[in-house]
Every structure is written in structure tokens, then in C-alpha cells.
Structure 1
Amino acid sequence: MKHTYKITGMTCSSCEEKVTSSLLQVENITSVTVSKDTELAIITMDKHVPLNDLKIALGTKYNIETTLDDAMLEENKSWFSTYKPIVLIFFYITVVTSIMAFQSIKSNEMEIHQIAMKWMNHFMGGFFLAFSFFKFLDLKGFADSYKMYDIVAKRIPFWAYLYPFIELGLGLSFLSNIFPLLTNSITFIVMTISIIGVLQAVFNKKKIQCACLGAVFNLPMSTVTIIEDALMIVMSGIMIFALV
């Protein structure tokens, strides 16, 4: 793969040689073509190399930045590599629950709105079970992260330790369809409380770890967390409305 970068600070041919030599020492870079006149470098890689690795290789004398197209590529790669665990979890849960819903359609067991409700029930059950599982892998690590931004856990630390158990209980309740109105009501309240702390952290641009997957993955707090919580709030709200 080839990427084009803008490099400033080169004043002569020896600068070109030094930049070329420095970049070729970076792992996975196979060839480099540098021009001080255009201030561009065309770099061929066997595997994607983060921009920060290139900056470290060049030191402080030369500044390297991505061009517009490559900046978008860099951002997309970084986003996916960062949030890949959440993306995969949502993908697997969506596929499994969709297959189950498709089987219900084929058998003509229920009407479409009933199938949609059942799909949301199974999706939310799978969501809470999966996310509670990762929290239980390091309960203390999760609690320490959660207390940094959750509005309840900040004041009542025990809430951070109780939260994974609540998620586990909700997951089992959704999948077994026990007390659906109570289950959805608790979900709506708990996730609404949770999203307040998330919104505060994101809007204040706090660089803290998101505790949604416990302490196993180092996920930064971002709009992804907001979407995750909001999705649960919307789904539980829809089902409360349908059950009342």
C-alpha cells in the first residue's frame, strides 16, 4: 500500500536523504520517495504504520502530516482499530438475534410487530450479558474506571461494583422475558443515569477510559459510548410504550 505525506523542514538534498533513511528504518516500510520541492513523501508499506511512528522516526527537525485523503484513511483505521471490540460484539449480537427473528418469520408464529419486540428483547439480553461478562473479568478495574465519570458511582462507590450484577440480571430477564415491564423500566432508568455521566465526560473532553467493556479493553470515552447507551434507552422506551 502507498500513502502520501506532507513533510516540512527539508532545505537541501541531504535533508531528503536523511528523511528517506529515517523512514526506511521504520518497520513495515519498504520504499520511500521524498521531494523537498513539493514537500511530499510517497511511502510504500507492507502494513499500515501509524502517523505517530513516522513522527518519532523523523524527530523534531522535520514535521510529517497526512494529506487530506490519507488523513481520512488514518482516522478511519484508528477509529476501527480502537473500537473493534464493540463493533464485533454488536455485529455478533445483531446477526444472532436477526437469525432468530428470521426463523420466527418463516414459521409465521407471530406478527411483524411481535417479532420486532422479540428481536429487541433478545438483542438487549445479549448486549447486557456480553457487556457484564467483560466487566466481571476485572470487577475492581471496572469500578475504578466507572467511578471517574458516573454521577452515582462518584458519590456511592458501591454502585460501581453493583452495576455489572444489574446488567447480568437485566440480560437474563430480557432473554427469559420475566417481568418485561419491570425489566424495561429498570433498563430505562439505569441507562438514563449512565448516559448523563458519559455526556458530561464527552462534552468536557475528558481523556478517560470508557468502562463499558470493563478494564479489559482500553477504550476512550467518546460518542460511541453515547450511542451505545442511547440505543438501550430508546429500545427500552419503545417496549415500555408497547407494554403499557
Structure 2
Amino acid sequence: MKKKADIYRMVTPDHLCPWGIKALDLLKRNGFAVIDHHLETMEANEDYKKDHGVDETPQIFIEGERIGGYDALREHLSLGPDPKEGETYQPVVAIFAVTFLMALTTTWDMLGSLSIIRAAELFIAFSMCALGIQKLRDLKSYATGFVQYDLLAQRYVPYAYVYAFIEAGGGILMIAGLFSWIVAPIVLLASSVGAISVFKAVYVEKRDLKCACVGGDSSVPLGFISLTENLMMMAMAIWMLVQGL
């Protein structure tokens, strides 16, 4: 027979406790017969905590024995602590993976075959657009992170805001090869300063900073990925200039 588990969690018209949902899922996936008790108002939730001498919900009971909250349940099931957010390259890897596949499928649709050169062009342009969007969604937060290492932004703070538009706008125009004689030099200058700034901060000064490449709330460490972003932009800008000769 399945072991019986009771869970008391907050379920109101305005709020579904995410930890309660995760705890319920864990119990079901581990084969428990779950009785799901809803605390349907903020008052009911506060009363439950007060009456039972606990400071959080959800609260889980297995065969009548109180286990505790979500973290305690994971420990009881020998799953270890829930992975916490820390430094990760996942956001950048996700962007590069998707834009690379976009470049391949777009090239195939346009040419009826795969062209390495065209796919590389589109990959860099699409990546610039995607990274630009991440910066533009919260310009203030992005700029706060960017000025910590970019040499030009440290001398002229408004440039931190401009850079996001350079990257996104440059990517858009590079997709179609429009206005190369204007776009390429601007992108080349911005990315060159960016590459020097990252190299100085990471490899010379050895500072431990977060990269603003995917926005100001990024958990991506400043380092090789950040340098790669700038080097890709430099390569694309130089390629456009060569193509325009």
C-alpha cells in the first residue's frame, strides 16, 4: 500500500505557493497517496502557522509524522537541498544554442542548402539581437553592471545605455547587410572596447564580476563567454567591411 501523506499549502485566488506545488509534485512522484489541504486565505495561512507553531507553509506530514516544509521534505526523501541559483553560463548557452539553430534553419530555407559562411553570419547577427534584447528589457539594471568593467562606460556613463542599442540595432541591420559602411565601424569600435575591457578586468586585474551580457540581473560570471561575445561582434564587423570593399 502507498504511504499516506498530508500537505497543508497556501492556495488562494491571488496566490499559489510555488513551494507547495513543488512539494506536492515530489510526494506524488515518490509514490505517496496525498491528501491535499488548501489554506484558501491569507488569514487561514497565518492562523495555521500560529496554531501549529511553524513559520512557513507548506507543511508536510507522512503517516502522521510532521516532516516540515519543502526543504525538509527533500532531506527526508534523501534528495539533498534544492539547487540554488548561482554562477552559471546557462543563459548564454541557451541563447547561442537557439540562435545557432535559427541560423542553420534560416540558411536552409533561404538557399535550399547549408552555407557555412551564411549560417555563421546569421548566427552572429541573431546572437547580437538576442543579447541586445536581454540588455534592453531592463536598461538601468544592465547599465549598472556594465559600468563596473567597461572602460568607455566608466568615463561616460550614458554610453552604457547606448551600447545595448548598438548591439541590437547592429544585429538587425547585419542580418540584411544594410548600411554596412556605418554599422560595421560602430560595432567594431564598441566591441573592441568591450573586448579590451573584459580582458583587463578578468585576466589582468582578476576581478570577480558578473557579466552584463544577458542583462543586469545576470548570474553569468564575467570571463571567456563575455570576451567571446565581443570577439564575435568584431569578426562580424570586419567581415562586413571586407565584403563592402
- Scaled to the shorter chain, the TM-score interval is 0.5 to 0.7
Secondary structure of the corresponding residue to residue 220 of structure 1: coil
Which residue matches 1:96? 102
2:201 matched to which residue of 1? 201
- C-alpha contact 1:134 1:216 (8 A) present in aligned 2: no
Decide whether aligned partners of structure 1 residues 118 and 181 sit closer, same or farther in structure 2, where only a CA change above 3 A counts: farther
Q: SS at the partner of 1:82?
A: coil
Q: Assess, with a 3 A threshold, how the Cα gap between structure 1 residues 220 and 210 changes in structure 2: closer, same or farther.
A: same
User: Sequence identity of aligned pairs in percent?
Assistant: 25
Distance 2:226 2:187 in 1: 16
Q: 1:104 to 1:136 in 2, by over 3 A?
A: closer
CA distance in 1, matches of 2:81, 2:198: 32
- Please report how far the alpha carbon of residue 201 of structure 1 lies from its aligned counterpart in structure 2 after TM superposition: 1.0
- Judge conservation of contact 1:117–1:239 (CA < 8 Å) in 2: no
Paired amino acid for 1:205: K
In structure 2, runs of 5+ residues without a counterpart are: 1-70
Q: Deviations over 1:134-175 (max 9, x none)?
A: 112221111111111101000001101111121222122112
Mapped to 1, the partners of 2:73 and 2:243 lie a distance apart of 57
Give, in whole Å, the separation in 1 of the partners of 2:185 and 2:119: 18
**1:94-153 per-position Cα deviation (integer Å, ceiling 9, x unaligned):** 00111112234426xxxx8xx444333322331222111111222111111111110100
Alignment of 1:111-130 (within 5 A): 115-130=115-130
Q: CA RMSD in A?
A: 2.8
Written as runs of structure 1 = structure 2, the 5 A alignment for 1:119-198 is: 119-198=119-198
User: What do residues 22-67 of structure 1 show as CA deviations (whole Å, max 9, x unaligned)?
Assistant: xxx9874679xxxxxxxxxxxxx646877xx9xxxxxxxxxxxxxx
Q: What is the match of residue 224 of structure 2? A: 223
| Count of aligned residue pairs for this structure pair | 174
Distance change (3 Å), C-alpha of 1:241 and 1:27: farther
Cα distance in 1 for residues equivalent to 2:241 and 2:94: 28
1:58 aligned partner:
none
Higher Cα Rg: structure 1 or 2? 2
Whether the aligned pair in 2 keeps the contact of 1:121 and 1:177 (CA below 8 Å) is no
Q: Distance in 2 between matches of 1:47 and 1:237?
A: 50
In the alignment, residue 100 of structure 2 is paired with which amino acid? T
CA distance in 1, matches of 2:81, 2:244: 50
**Cα offset, 1:186, TM superposition:** 2.2
CA shift in 2, pair 1:48/1:151, >3 Å: same
Partner residue, 1:87: 93
CA distance in 2, matches of 1:183, 1:159: 16
* Structure 1, unpaired ranges of 5+: 1-24, 32-44, 54-77
Q: 1:185 to 1:126 in 2, by over 3 A?
A: same
4+ long deviations beyond 4 Å = 25-31, 47-50
Letter in 1 for 2:191: M
